[in-house]
Structure 1
Amino acid sequence: MNDRIRITATAEGQERVLTDDALSFLLELHDAFECQRQQQLQDRRKRRAAFADGDVPSFLAATERIRRDSSWKVAPPAPGLEDRRVEITGPIERKMTINALNSGAKVWLADCEDASSPLWRNVIASQVNLQDAIREQIEFTSPEGKEYRVTAEQTPTIVVRPRGWHLDEHRIIVDGKPMSGSLVDFGLHVFHNADELIARGSGPYFYLPKIENHLEARLWNDVFVMAQQLLVLPQGTIRATVLIETITAAFEMEEILYELRDHSAGLNAGRWDYLFSMIKAFRLRGEAFVLPDRAQLTMTAPFMRAYTEQLVRACHRRGAHAIGGMAAFVPSAKDPEATERALSAVAADKSREAGDGFDGSWVAHPGLVATCREAFDAVLGDEPNQLGRSREDVPVDGDALIDLSTTPGEITDGGLRSNIEIGIRYMEAWLRGHGAVAIHSLMEDAATAEISRSQVWQWIYNESATSDGRTITRERCEAIVDELGRGFERAEGNRFREAIALFREIALEETYPAFLTLAGTERYLAEGVERSTTGPIPVTDAPAPVAQTTSRDADEQEREAA
């Protein structure tokens, strides 16, 4: 091992993943791109401070020529990515990997990011499971003795989502500083699996999360070019779909496609992170930017319609796939009536996406694959996609992207309590190593938890009121936290005490952390406070127990420091 690199933790399978050659490859990527990454993160902080001062995102004058030039297109779809009408997402846990491969979906988004808790054992296990899945060597036997094997004749194309640029890998230290989590997840997968994927008729494909502008996409493109040179892969072998899940990226969709054009596989409407980004960007801007209960925020809201339709337009104008948002419902055999109602809602949502021109969409559970497929089959028929369908009828309208004034709905006491409960329950599971968890029949991940805690913070800051006329204060939220805390399940290995402390820090304190995953990692994971746990995730569909400060924002502190 190079003496510049220090590994500070151990996990089963580590010697198979962190070989000397793999670490040397990571080091070359680190040396080439770490300074640029840090510059991009500094630019993010400056933009957040500018939004706090009253700026709003807009289409860039400097890149107008890219948008006006109608001649350029992205590369044609790569092998295995021509037909993407159903994509299933999930963490790269061994059993869930097998379930995804058996699901009947066209694509599996193997998630190292929002659906994965970054405990070291998970980071390593994800890479081990990817290697085994790609080589058709993956099996699993549960503690109860149930055996899981891949039985599907046709398995989904694998697309890996690495961690975002903002996340460090604290267990791999280079010259005394942590390596980029993005480069670790990307680098290990492409190093170990690119040749095998190509030999099997596919390739190393990725979903790129949390990108905020075209320069961050350019950085990824530079990474791809260098990785292909180092691994002697033809340029363009690596392909990437970018999640448009930040408000700034929504104003640079064509520029993002342009930067990645030789490596582009399209764009995805990352609806939950997009809502989180809207709240985060405009949380200090008063009631005009305050949104109703999370449960009332549907894709039919005007600002969300503008976002998705403009995404389809941008993609198809450039020959790129447009992939729709997540259906997070978890079917339950215990409540067939509720399941039937939810499946009807999922079918309507996916039919709307297919009708709008999307080429495919996401589901979080194998039980939704058929519903999504039927909706897209009805529109696509035997065609693999809708790339030939232009949406030039859609206006490119920046004002529509940020106009929240016509969003229907209200803030309710139930919505406030739900946000607090989901935030705490999710973080408790996340601290134990579970990044995707079913709570009240919905699959929650880091993105949905971010919405929950950010809404609570924003409602307190703006002294918003619930529909019963009561102002949302920190004291009111603290009382709900205390009330919920007395009713949470208690079992060996639970981390509710820490989850409640973390929720208070990220939702109820005066400062607003940019990401709960950053705060959680720095507080509980970076110092090696990782606990081995066994047993099921303690979630329940039982009702939760029933039960003004002036906030100073972290971006304000950054401006003062500058």
Structure 2
Amino acid sequence: MANVVLLQSPPPKFEELQKKIFKKEALEFLANLHRTFDEQIEFLYSNRRRRMVEIQASSVLEFKNSPERSDKSWNIAPLPLRLQNRHVDLGDVSASNTAHFVSALNEDVQGIQVDFDDGHCPTWRNQLLAFQNINLAVRGKLPGAPLTITTCPVLMLRPRAWNMIEHNILIDGKEAIGPLVDFAILMYHNAKKLYEANSGPYFYLSKLESASEARLWNDIFVWAQRELCLPQGTIKACVLIENIVSTFELDEILFALRDHSLGLNCGIWDYCASIVAKFGHRSEYQLPDRNKYVNMDRHFLSSYLKLVVKTCHARGAPATGGMAAAMLKPGTDGTDKESKMKISKILEAKLKEIDCGVDGFMVYDTRVAPHVNELWKKHGAMPNQISRKFDYVITAQDLLSIPTGGVTLQGLKHNVAISILFIYYWLAGIGHFFYSGNVEDSATAEISRYQIWQWIRFAPALEDDPKQRVTSQFVEKTAANFAAHAHKNLCRSSAERKRLTAARYMSLELFLSRNPPEFITTYLNDNHKFRTLHNKALLSNL
């Protein structure tokens, strides 16, 4: 039997579900996957640490002069029919939220980003619920969802990123790797069903930093397909280019996954956060107020988008834009004046991406989806725009030209609020939340807390009050004021009040850290507060 220990007892009424999901054969598949790739994953972690030291020492990134880049003759493998048109995906859909997941399955969109990463909080209960709901949906047995997976939008399964450890599972005495757990369980239970329905298995891959990490995923795909008797190339995966380092290896990433590639995706806030993570100790990389000065029109981000589109199309791959996070007011059908203005703003931004050549993008609010569908009908009647080729010349300087601008009081307050609220909701087991008309997840929390850390480091003056600099004392006061306001409007119980207090002080720890953790989800997932709240501390050796 596989040497796998589940460190969590099942939540009430989840006993049979846990036994079913983590049945003996599934555990053996999971254990064998870990044993096969354990050494390569350890090398991945050590390589990331080494690269961080090198970058911070030199602050230089250059495009590789690789055979894959210089050889213009290769393309990715042809895409299955269901993946040739992905104009609209719904983003941040955690399958642990049954009502939201069911609603997404019934929408008129091409795909659903079924999320175990940015918009999902990996409590044990959430993991079990998400696995179960996906299993039921694939088999047409999820109440309220379509009766066959072929009539649903395509499931784009997004496992956790490499930074996430699964503390609730030991394999051969070592904590399991979060993305391998998600991938193994999803594949074991659903891969054959999805393949037989010509609907997968398809994946999003988060936070890759290099072509070597893409090659590791490719090796994992090859191994899993062989173990499950699936034809090689069945798995397809879209890589999210959310790290500044990966932008310099786009050709190499596509080549590494060429038999399994579903192109590349742009994610603005994780991408910006990675620039601060890698270069933020230098004042010339101080990122200004993101609400006022950072958007896809800025040179460094438009260059990033253009490079992704150019590289993808040159290799016959689709390029996916970012997610429209704006939300309409609850209860509105989108016909009121305020909603029309917000929809118009979303469509204006997405039309710019279409003009740049993207083949699709994500939205969160399902009420926006029909309007985006109409936009595609008017401006992109073909399934994709891969035939559009571009000859942009994008340099390293283009990608690293930080926009000018300062810090506003409103921008500081907004970043403080997002940081505190993300931690507050994570401690409650919720991976995304709504604030000031937008859906917020780990990507926006990442850039928010990183910006505050960087502003404290360089103490810029506020644009609207030049006498006031962003100091640690001023940030602490701002956080205290927000917490007092949230205490009145958000907290109804002593548990919620304690959680808000914890979120405030954990945020301050991130803001003031000498060497901040690279990922906020790593910090939270490894934190004793989170683990205590969601850990029953009972062993079940299965």
Aligned to 1:76: 78
Q: Does 1:385 align with 2:384?
A: yes
SS in 2 for 1:236: coil
Compute the displacement of 1:458 (Å): 0.4
Distance 1:410 1:340, change over 3 A: farther
Residue deviations 1:310-361 (CA, integer Å, cap 9, x gap): 1000000000010110100111156843322221111011111111111111
Letter in 2 for 1:91: S
1:205 aligned to which of 193, 202, 205: 202
- Check if 1:515 corresponds to 2:519: yes
Deviations 1:532-558 (A, max 9, x none): 9xxxxxxxxxxxxxxxxxxxxxxxxxx
Task: Sort the Cα spacing of 1:435 and 1:193 in 2 relative to 1 into closer, same or farther, 3 A.
Answer: same
Structure 2 partner of 1:353: 353
CA distance in 1, matches of 2:469, 2:71: 51
Tell whether the 8 Å contact from 2:141 to 2:147 is kept in structure 1 after alignment: no
Is the CA contact 1:446–1:517 (under 8 Å) kept in the aligned structure 2?
Answer: yes
Residue type at the aligned position of 2:413: R
Structure 1 counterpart of 2:42: 38
- Aligned counterpart, 2:191: 194
Match status 1:417 vs 2:413 = yes
In structure 1, the gaps of 5 or more residues are 140-147, 533-562
Q: 1:213-243: per-residue Cα shift (whole Å, max 9, x none)? A: 0000000000000001111110000110000
Assess if the C-alpha contact under 8 Å between 1:104 and 1:154 holds in 2: no
Q: Distance in 2 between matches of 1:53 and 1:177?
A: 33
Cα pair 1:294 1:451 within 8 Å, conserved:
no
CA separation in 2, counterparts of 1:228 and 1:526?
35
Give the SS at the match of 2:170: strand
Q: C-alpha distance in 2, partners of 1:55/1:289? A: 14
SS in structure 1 of the partner of residue 434 of structure 2: strand
Matched with 1:279 is 276
Query: Which of 323, 327, 351 is 2:324 aligned to?
Result: 327
Secondary structure of the structure 2 residue equivalent to 1:201: coil
Aligned partner of residue 366 in structure 1, secondary structure: coil
CA displacement at 1:8 relative to structure 2: 3.2
- Tell me if structure 2 keeps the 8 A contact 1:287–1:464: no
What secondary structure does 1:243 align onto?
strand
For 2:4 and 2:139, locate their aligned partners in 1 and report how far apart those are by CA, in whole Å.
Answer: 32
1:256-405 correspondence runs (5 A):
256-294=253-291, 296-333=293-330, 336-381=336-381, 383-392=382-391, 394-404=392-402
Matches within 5 A, 1:80-95: 80-89=82-91, 90-92=93-95, 93-95=97-99
Q: Hey, what does 2:504 align to over in structure 1?
A: 500
Q: Deviations over 1:476-533 (max 9, x none)?
A: 101111111212122234221221122112122333111111111111467443189x
Q: Tell me if the contact between 2:280 and 2:286 (Cα under 8 Å) persists in the aligned partners.
A: yes
Kindly, what percent of the aligned residue pairs are identical?
Answer: 34
Confirm or deny that 1:155 pairs with 2:152: yes
User: Which blocks of at least 5 consecutive residues in structure 2 are unaligned?
Assistant: 537-542
Deviation at 1:276, TM superposition (A): 1.2
RMSD over equivalenced CA pairs, Å: 1.8
Q: Which residue of 2 aligns with 1:122?
A: 126
CA apart distance, 1:10: 2.1
3-state SS in 1 of match to 2:167: strand
- CA distance in structure 2 between the aligned counterparts of 1:440 and 1:7, rounded to whole angstroms: 38
- Cα deviation for residue 150 of structure 1 reads 4.4
SS at match of 1:240: strand
Paired with 1:346 and 1:78, the residues of 2 have a C-alpha distance of 30
Query: Deviation per CA, 1:351-406, whole angstroms, max 9, x where unpaired?
Result: 1111111111111121121222222222221x2111111112x11322101111xx
Using a 3 Å threshold, how does the CA distance of structure 1 residues 9 and 503 change in structure 2: closer, same or farther? Answer: farther
Q: What's the counterpart of residue 55 of structure 2?
A: 51
1:292: Cα distance to partner? 2.4
Tell me which amino acid in the other structure corresponds to 1:307: Y
Aligned in 2, Cα 1:471/1:184: closer, same or farther, shift over 3 Å?
same
TM-score normalized by structure 1? 0.89
Contact 2:4 2:27 (C-alpha < 8 Å) held by counterparts: no
For residues 291 and 57 of structure 2, the distance between their equivalents in structure 1, rounded to whole angstroms, comes to: 26
Matched residues in 2 for 1:527 and 1:300: separation?
41
TM-score by length of 2: 0.92
Query: SS where residue 534 of structure 2 aligns?
Result: coil
Counterpart of 1:28? Answer: 32
In the alignment of these two chains, the number of paired residues is 518
Q: Distance in 2 between matches of 1:88 and 1:54?
A: 39
